[in-house]
Amino acid sequence: RQRWPKVSQLSPDDREELRRGCFGELIRISAAYPEDRLAPWRGPPGGADPLNAAVDWSAAERAYHAEKIAIVDDFFAPDALEELWRFACESPSFRTVRNGFLGAFPADGNVHPLILAAAASLERRLPSVLSGHPLGLWWLFKYTEAGRSGIGIHADAAAVNMNIWLTPDDARRSGGGLDIYTQLPPVEARVVDINKEFATAEDEAKFRDELLKAGDVRRVE
């Protein structure tokens, strides 16, 4: 099992590169993100709708109410998907370092107007699901060959949670997807108790077994 080095174990050059990345020097030396790629998504009013109009959103709404899970293929319109993928590849906002992957949160600079436009469109298309539940937080995660295979078991503190895959289908080798456990955490659970990195793979496997004994799991790919 691969273990990530401590900062004290890095070479002086690597420590300096990490410092520059964590304290925003990459953003300051990077060219500004092209305004002509941001402008079409600003709004409302007048901003482009990034969601795919061909999707039967009413069916997605019914599925969510029936099963508490709805799967939507081709979620974004093609031009929106292309732009968000380019942003994920080019933006210097992946400044949150996790165990084997990078995160881009709003505080890191992940504030593309397309994301807010998508949230506004979803509220219009899924009114009975999202009524009273405005967008609270969003993020992008990025993995490398050297990292782990994905996010570990966790629960997000949200009334409605959405997971969207941007990676092109032809980039998939194997695996992927999402395991959804039907066992809910207790209402009194703290965020640090349900969304954390396990100390070892064995600890995570033990917790997975406990979840499976308490309920079912659904695989979404």
pLDDT in tens, 52-94: 999 999 999 999 999 999 999 999 999 999 999 999 998 888 8
Exposure pattern of 11-29 as b/e (b: 16+ CB <10 Å)?
A: eeeeeeeeeebeeeebeee
The two three-digit tokens of residue 162, written as one number: 């959405």
Is there a contact between 180 and 218 (Cβ–Cβ < 8 Å)?
Answer: yes
pLDDT, tens digit (0-9, with 9 covering 90-100), for 106-163: 988 899 999 999 999 999 999 999 999 999 999 999 887 776 667 888 888 888 999 9
For 177, list phi and psi in degrees, rounded to 5: 90, -165
Nearest to 59 by CA among 49, 50, 51, 71: 71
The answer, yes or no, to whether residue 27 has pLDDT greater than 60, is no
* Position 147, amino acid: G
Residue 141's H or E segment, with its range, is: strand 140-143
> What's the count of helices (H) and strands (E) in the chain, helices before strands?
9, 5
pLDDT, tens digit (0-9, with 9 covering 90-100), for 3-19: 677 777 888 888 777 76
Residue 103's H or E segment, with its range, is: strand 101-104
* Position 5, amino acid: P
- The count of C-alpha atoms lying within 13 angstroms of the C-alpha of 136, restricted to the half-sphere facing its C-beta, is 10
